[in-house]
Homo-oligomer: A and B are copies of this chain.
Amino acid sequence: MQRAGQRGGSQLCGTVARNGPFRQFRRELMGTVRHIIESQQFDREYLSTLFERAHAFSEQGKSRELAGFTMASLFYEPSTRTRFSFEAAMYRLGGNVITTENAREFSSLAKGESLEDTIRIISGYVDLIVMRHNEIGAAKRAAEISPVPIINGGDGAGQHPTQALLDLYTLFRKFNRLDGLRVAMVGDLRYGRTVRSLAYLLSKYDNVELIFVAPPVCQMHEDIKDFLSGKSVNWREESDLDAVLPHIDSVYMTRIQKERFHDQQEFKQANNAYRLTRENVSKMAQEAIILHPLPRVGEIDPAVDNDHRAMYFEQARNGLWIRMALIQQLLTGDRN
């Protein structure tokens, strides 16, 4: 596997030289991001610097840089996977964590305390808040009044920016570039926020090609397709996964949700058509990779796990390095 090194970083930053002035520039750049709320807030330069840092953490594993800092995990709905990833990241930076999956209790006990009041109180206790909420826009509201950084760990059907960043990082880490990648997105493209965010982020890079493979009821929404066309991104829709697989750099699988289908026969058909097995995976290029935000159910046969192209567990692990890089940036700025 190729990895994003310093070369990758400077490549992404275009013509900016990696010398003194560049470092100064990066410092200012990273310093301007005070909260992590939505995928739209990042530009190529920020992403490049972030990936460099994530890569450094993946080599270093642990640090003591944030000893004495405390993070609050404020989860209004449980998401153990996401919470664990953030908390492990904080501990690997030397910090501490206070945590609840029960944050709704704040308002129930209060019979109506506002999110803003809750954030004002918690932000008096800790240095950073990671929050997950069931309502779209909750993280943004929190960020507007919080004196400490807010990271959006998912707000309902809205954004889950750190997932989008780790997806993009996994591609970059493999190919050492993002320009020119051909990515197939498969499964539930309509309701899955990960594919929407990834498509958005990839649109920042040159000559990217996106192929959408979904059952009719789960097609990518018009808003994203219009956006991509406006940015001159090369995209198209296909229905035959097997025909697509040999010609891409990465296939991004997602779980098709049974409940989207009225006709269960139709669901079964769609689900089987969009399933990776050892057979169709063998037709992929040797350098291609398989991604999945997880959890998966039937859409990737466990027999594929041992294939060198299966990268979804490493992708989950990459979330650790991305989250370490984000937390470190928010709490220390760029001090290197």
Residue positions of A touching B, CB distance < 8 A: 62, 64, 68, 70, 72, 78-81, 83-85, 87-88, 91-92, 94, 96-103, 105-107, 109-114, 116-117, 120-122, 124-126, 255, 258, 294-297, 302, 313-314, 316-317, 320
Contacts and interface: CB of A to CB of B under 8 A. Distances in A.
Nearest to A320: B125
A110 B70 contact: no
Contact of A80 (B79, B100, B124, B295): B100
Contacts of A105: 78-80
Nearest to A108: B78
B295 A110 contact: yes
Contacts of A126: 84, 88
A124 B320 contact: yes
Contact of A106 (B80, B102, B107): B80
Contact of A78 (B88, B102, B122, B294): B102
Nearest to A80: B100
A152 to B, nearest CB: 18
B316 A121 contact: yes
A44 B91 CA distance: 37
Contacts of A98: 83-84, 87-88, 91, 97
A91 B62 contact: no
- Closest CB pairs A-B (n = 6): A110-B295, A124-B317, A113-B295, A88-B125, A91-B96, A87-B98
Given A80-B100, A106-B81, A124 B316 contact: yes
A231 to B, nearest CB: 33
Contact of A109 (B120, B121, B295): B295
B125 A84 contact: yes
A122 B84 contact: yes
Contacts of A258: 111
Contact of A295 (B70, B117, B302, B313): B117
A295 to B, nearest CB: 3
A313 B96 contact: no
24 contacts: A62-B68, A70-B91, A70-B92, A72-B84, A78-B102, A79-B109, A80-B102, A80-B105, A83-B98, A85-B125, A88-B126, A91-B98, A99-B99, A101-B102, A109-B295, A111-B297, A112-B295, A116-B302, A117-B295, A117-B296, A121-B313, A124-B313, A124-B317, A125-B320
A196 B203 CA distance: 61
A221 to B, nearest CB: 23
A137 to B, nearest CB: 18
A78 B78 CA distance: 15
A227 B5 CA distance: 60
Contacts of A84: 72, 98, 100, 122, 125-126
A302 to B, nearest CB: 8
A43 to B, nearest CB: 29
A125 B294 CA distance: 15
Most buried by B among A70, A107, A114: A70
Contacts of A78: 102, 105, 109
Nearest to A124: B317
Given A87-B98, A107-B295, A110-B255, 14 more contacts: A64-B68, A68-B92, A78-B102, A78-B109, A84-B98, A88-B126, A111-B297, A113-B297, A114-B302, A117-B294, A117-B295, A121-B313, A121-B316, A124-B313
